[in-house]
Structure 1
Amino acid sequence: MPRSVLSYPLQVRDRRVLVPIGVPCPYRCGYCYAPEIEPSAPIDPASIVDAVHTLDPSSFDVIQLGYDGDPVASLGAMRALLPGLAATGRHINVSTKARISERAAAVLASAHQATGAGVSLNVSMSCWDSAAVLEAGTPHPQSRLDGARDLLASAGVPFVVALRPILPKVGDDEVAQIISGARDAGATGLVTGPLYATEDEAELMEPGLVISEHRHATAVGWSPLPLERVRILDDDRVARIRAMAEGLGVRHFTNNAQALSEMMRHE
């Protein structure tokens, strides 16, 4: 398949640069907006690495990989990108819903050593028993946690479990399973975040569940391309999840910056 070149500037926010994997995500989670920002054709990894190296190196401390697809599920693309990204000497944070295979673990472990600032993982899941329906094609959440646990044990790569987005109609029983799984796998903690829905999707939510300063469509903060959604977050439920997590001895983070700070502190 012909490859394209990166056609838009990379964003640096809060000392983090958002870097695409450049390959469409193989998963089709029912709540995800990635299909709207993923590339129509694979992006040449060299053009992505070149774009990172043209940035002012003093402007960022972290490379966040995986907003437009799944790096671990697209192992060839990740393998092509990580050496060049590691050469920046910056911490690399990889988001994934995939199971960490032995081959993926070897690639991540190599980058963890090469960068000098380490690699960390966000192991994403928004449900447990409902994953077969809501996160179509993804490995079971327990399998994702098992792979991250093994990588932590073998190479010291830390991870958080990203309960993002919090789905209004996924019950606390499934959330409790996620938190227990995170604890048992040795996760640094649990990070939560909002659901971004279209206005039509938001109208289908139960009354009272849409609790946000932005009831109408607003720009999705970490999308590199223009994208508007209704931000849906129940603050009372976040407080309840925090209490559930703390009751099980799991640290709760309300954003990725907090989670990254804690993971990097132990590098």
Structure 2
Amino acid sequence: MPFESIQGRGATRNAVPARFNLPERLVEGDWLDEVEALDGVSQRRTTITVERPKSILTRNSSPDIGFDRSINPYRGCEHGCIYCFARPTHAYHDLSPGVDFESRLFVKPDAAKLLHAALSRPGYDVAPIALGTNTDPYQPIEGRFRITRSVIELLTETGHPFTITTKSNRVLRDLDLIAPAAHRGLAAVAVSVTSLDPAISRTLEPRAPAGLKRIEAIRRLNDAGVPTLLAVAPIIPQITDHELERIVAAGAEAGARVAFYLPVRLPHEVAPLFRAWLDDHYPDRAAKVMATIQSMRGGKDNDPNFFTRMQGHGPWADLLRTRFAAATRKADLGTGRLKLRRDLFRAPEGRQMRLL
């Protein structure tokens, strides 16, 4: 019987979570359309569904997150990072947080139009809009749909502050928009670097650009005058934590102004997917990795509580804090938040142009 290969994907499983009472599956029914021979192996293809939401701004009131509004042009992410905390959101579409999350993508082509409506509302209060807080705004399909670019175009036209978080050097494609906005004090970019080891990255985040390419993106952003943050995120004990100091030093040398880190988080279905990934790729240390993660999460796979969820607690978390503080001090990197201007915003023009 033919089957569908998931080689080159991050997740090694594709089960639908039981918490939504959805049937478990190995592959989607439409995979038969892709079979090239009855006894062959069909490579899992990426499929795209257009999504038409009624609004595009997502609000949050989390006390340990430095923004209160965000935009995610895409749902699902081709990068396939096994640790991605956004994976469970795919279950709301009756899709698996596993391989489906990486290959069954949703795009929001009306994002800029919806943002235009939001910024035009009377009494709109200006605060930085965060791009890429859930899934990467510069995953490969951005090259085709350019939704992130259309949003940035509107933000720059209206003088609205924004931040970008990405694991991709594709952000450089929009440097012609981001750099002028940064010169006006409206934009900053955070580049996440998990590992500089290609062998680790190949399975950990198989379709994301290599770590060294991200470091080079920091360099080019800095050369263009864009305030750039280095995110050492996530740090995975016994897998990537030994690279912490090297990543901080590389980011600082490339021109990052600020750095921060996050220990790995494993909410909901991410935990079993991560365990399966460990069993497949690091069976020699799988138990040790999970024991260390649990030591930072109160004996559980995940800690959802405010404040501690971002830093963890216990001896291992304390050690990471100490090491990170020493590394940033040695590299002369800041650890605070960059401030962006809010006073340049002008509401977008509607059907009637502004007189002045």
Q: What range describes the TM-score normalised by the shorter chain of this pair? A: 0.7 to 0.9
Alignment pair present for 1:72 and 2:138: yes
1: CA distance between counterparts of 2:248 and 2:178? 24
Alignment pair present for 1:192 and 2:192: no
Q: CA deviation at 1:100?
A: 4.0
| CA separation of 1:41 and 1:140: change in aligned 2, threshold 3 A | closer
| CA separation of 1:172 and 1:207: change in aligned 2, threshold 3 A | closer
Tell me what 1:207 maps to: 291
2: CA distance between counterparts of 1:243 and 1:33? 28
Deviations 1:39-69 (CA, angstroms, capped at 9, x unpaired): 85312212244345548533x5211110232
Alignment pair present for 1:238 and 2:321: yes
Alignment pair present for 1:123 and 2:191: yes
1: CA distance between counterparts of 2:57 and 2:74? 14
Q: CA deviation at 1:144?
A: 1.0
2: CA distance between counterparts of 1:171 and 1:68? 22
Tell me what 2:106 maps to: 41
Tell me what 1:249 maps to: 332
Unaligned runs of 5+ in 1: 223-228
| CA separation of 1:207 and 1:9: change in aligned 2, threshold 3 A | same
Q: CA deviation at 1:217?
A: 5.0
| Range with greater deviation from structure 2 (89-98 or 46-55) | 46-55
| CA separation of 1:15 and 1:181: change in aligned 2, threshold 3 A | closer
Q: CA deviation at 1:32?
A: 0.6
Q: CA deviation at 1:192?
A: 1.0
Q: Tell which structure's C-alpha radius of gyration is larger.
A: 2
1: CA distance between counterparts of 2:228 and 2:221? 9
2:57–2:70: 8 Å Cα contact kept in structure 1?
no
Whichever residue aligns with residue 195 of structure 2, its letter is C
| CA separation of 1:15 and 1:30: change in aligned 2, threshold 3 A | closer
Tell me what 2:176 maps to: 106
Alignment pair present for 1:135 and 2:217: no
1:49–1:85: 8 Å Cα contact kept in structure 2?
no
| Range with greater deviation from structure 2 (195-204 or 13-22) | 195-204
Tell me what 1:168 maps to: 237
2: CA distance between counterparts of 1:62 and 1:101? 18
Tell me what 2:72 maps to: 20
The SS at the match of 2:238 is coil
The SS at the match of 1:18 is strand
Whichever residue aligns with residue 70 of structure 1, its letter is D
Q: CA deviation at 1:11?
A: 0.7
Question: Scaled by the length of structure 1, what TM-score is found?
Answer: 0.76
- Of 181, 192, 206, 2:250 maps to 181
Q: CA deviation at 1:167?
A: 1.2
1: CA distance between counterparts of 2:240 and 2:107? 37
Deviations 1:73-99 (CA, angstroms, capped at 9, x unpaired): 325011111122335533211001111
Unaligned runs of 5+ in 2: 1-48, 94-104, 276-285, 342-356
Tell me what 1:150 maps to: 220
Alignment pair present for 1:57 and 2:124: yes
| CA separation of 1:24 and 1:104: change in aligned 2, threshold 3 A | farther
Q: CA deviation at 1:250?
A: 2.6
Whichever residue aligns with residue 250 of structure 1, its letter is L
Question: Scaled by the length of structure 2, what TM-score is found?
Answer: 0.59
Q: Percent identity?
A: 20
Q: CA deviation at 1:187?
A: 0.4
